[in-house]
Amino acid sequence: MGCSFVFLLGGKVNGNAEGGKTEQSCNALRSMARMHMALGNYAKAEPLAEQALSLAKTENVSDSQLSMCLLDMAWLCKDRGRFDDAEVMCKDGLELLEKARGKNHPYVAYTLRILGSIYQEQGRYSSAETVLNRALGVMLASHSSTDHIIAPFQVDIAKLLVARGKFTEAEFYYVQARALIDKSYGPNHLYTARVLGDVARLYTLQGRYSEAEILINRALAVQQEVYGPDHHMTAPTLLTMAGICKARQDYTEAERLIEKALSLSESNYGQEHPVTGKILSRLGRLYIAQDRYTEARDVCQRAVQVLEDSLGSFNDHTAMALNNLAKLYAHQGRYAEAEVLCRRALDTLEQIFDRNHPNTADILETMAQLCDKTGNHAEAARLWRRVEQIRSHTQAAIAKVIK
């Protein structure tokens, strides 16, 4: 959880005389919930936040207090993978907050960050971009661009740009944010570690593995110092480390890291959570890279099932899981089924992203391999050319950033 979100939830509210005691009770419950949330103990936080929201709805409390309770629950619903519920609560909280504070209050900006994160989990990247840009605009209206309070907004936009395959623009925001974060939070702060992990993931996607390794090791050291060695909040860090190992063909270590992340996710979120599905998809890709198709089969099928059930069919993570399954079917000679999956995956990505998204190249590569296997070499050649165009476009952008 970002430190700015904790700040939002911790903001003081002004209850009226009649609702004073109730407001105090809500604040006490929310404070205990936030303590657990700050440490990633969302299961312990949720009943406290639910109790605070129930109290706020049945008693005479301020709009500000009710909005805060709704936003607590929105964040918790998001963490539990209940994105539709999270969106409803966040929008209700936003409406109350705008009524109580005005549309240009910093608390509104923090709420828009929460809404943006929900949209991003749903794969609604255009909607996320709209609300995050509005949030940053609200903050810049009352704060200098060099104020450390701006950094989390820049980080959120950077993460969104990474998801959309816009690595150059993402690094621009990360550079600005890190300068503020390093100065304000210090090297051993959890938020600093989280951002280091985010930047390391970007570098890994760009193939800048040595730079990524330095940052991810720093991030993990801080996280393990605070959380301990086996906490689910370290899972994203472990996955980035696994990506570096996979790129260096250290498959044994990559598998160990992914399996540890999977175990942490299953124990905290459960087997049907989208985080678990995403990690299963990563594990399936690793098995396929090693031609371990028997092991990949169950993992890939399970990943598709979990992601379709939790995120729906129209989601980029689901699309990439379908692509993994298509690769597996192609190896088994099930070419018609593989083609159907590829076309579903490609249609999804091309509706969500632009035509040069790096993940699109991965699906086109699978389709080109299918065409080669079935003797349609002319179509395969066309697809290979498009794969090369996308990857050349991505590499040129990366080279420009490095230079």
Q: What is the DSSP string of 294-344?
A: HHHHHHHHHHHHHHHHHH-SSSHHHHHHHHHHHHHHHHTT-HHHHHHHHHH
Q: What is the DSSP string of 14-30?
A: ---STTHHHHHHHHHHH
Residue 403 confidence (pLDDT)? 58
| Rounded CA separation 379/89 (Å) | 48
Query: Does the pLDDT value for residue 13 go beyond 50?
Result: no
Query: Does the pLDDT value for residue 397 go beyond 90?
Result: no
Residue 247 confidence (pLDDT)? 97
Per the model's pLDDT, the better-predicted residue between 9 and 322 turns out to be 322
The closest of 192, 201, 118, 122 to 159, measured between CA atoms, is 201
How many angstroms from the chain centroid is the CA of residue 224?
A: 20
Q: What is the DSSP string of 219-249?
A: HHHHHHHHH-TT-GGGHHHHHHHHHHHHHTT
Helix (H) or strand (E) holding 168: helix 167-184
Contact (Cβ atoms closer than 8 angstroms) between residue 100 and residue 64: yes
Contact (Cβ atoms closer than 8 angstroms) between residue 284 and residue 309: no
The closest of 358, 365, 356, 363 to 384, measured between CA atoms, is 365
Contact (Cβ atoms closer than 8 angstroms) between residue 345 and residue 300: no
pLDDT (tens digit, 9 = 90+) per residue, 226-278?
A: 999 899 999 999 999 999 999 999 999 999 999 999 999 999 999 999 999 99
**Which pLDDT band holds residue 401 (cuts at 50, 70, 90)?**
low
| Rounded CA separation 205/127 (Å) | 24
Query: Does the pLDDT value for residue 146 go beyond 90?
Result: yes
Q: pTM of the entire structure? A: 0.91
Query: Does the pLDDT value for residue 11 go beyond 60?
Result: no
Residue 17 confidence (pLDDT)? 40
Residue 2 confidence (pLDDT)? 43
The first and second tokens of residue 6, run together, are 């904790």
Contact (Cβ atoms closer than 8 angstroms) between residue 161 and residue 173: yes
Reduce the DSSP state of residue 13 to 3 states and report it. coil
Q: Running DSSP on this structure, what letter comes out for residue 141? A: T
Arithmetic mean of pLDDT, 374-403: 87
Residue 400 confidence (pLDDT)? 65
List of residues 6+ apart from 100 with CB closer than 8 A: 62, 63, 64, 67
Residue 12 confidence (pLDDT)? 41
List of residues 6+ apart from 399 with CB closer than 8 A: none
10 Å CB burial of residue 272 (0-12, 13-18, 19+) is middle
Arithmetic mean of pLDDT, 50-74: 92
Arithmetic mean of pLDDT, 366-372: 97
Distances (CA, A) of 50 to 28, 74, 108: 13, 11, 22
| Rounded CA separation 77/75 (Å) | 5
Reduce the DSSP state of residue 207 to 3 states and report it. coil
pLDDT (tens digit, 9 = 90+) per residue, 291-335?
A: 999 999 999 999 999 999 999 999 999 999 999 999 999 999 999
Q: Running DSSP on this structure, what letter comes out for residue 59? A: S
Mean pLDDT, the chain, integer: 92
Q: How many helices (H) and strands (E) does the chain have?
A: 19, 0
What structural domains does the chain harbor? 1-140 (1.25.40.10), 143-249 (1.25.40.10), 306-403 (1.25.40.10)
Distances (CA, A) of 301 to 32, 175, 260, 296, 363: 40, 39, 20, 8, 17
| Rounded CA separation 314/95 (Å) | 28
Contact (Cβ atoms closer than 8 angstroms) between residue 60 and residue 16: yes
**Which pLDDT band holds residue 114 (cuts at 50, 70, 90)?**
very high
Query: Does the pLDDT value for residue 74 go beyond 80?
Result: yes
Query: Does the pLDDT value for residue 134 go beyond 50?
Result: yes
The first and second tokens of residue 250, run together, are 């250290």
Contact (Cβ atoms closer than 8 angstroms) between residue 342 and residue 366: yes
Query: Does the pLDDT value for residue 149 go beyond 60?
Result: yes
Give me the count of residues in the chain: 403
Q: What is the DSSP string of 77-94?
A: HHHTT-HHHHHHHHHHHH
Query: Does the pLDDT value for residue 282 go beyond 80?
Result: yes
Q: Running DSSP on this structure, what letter comes out for residue 149? A: G
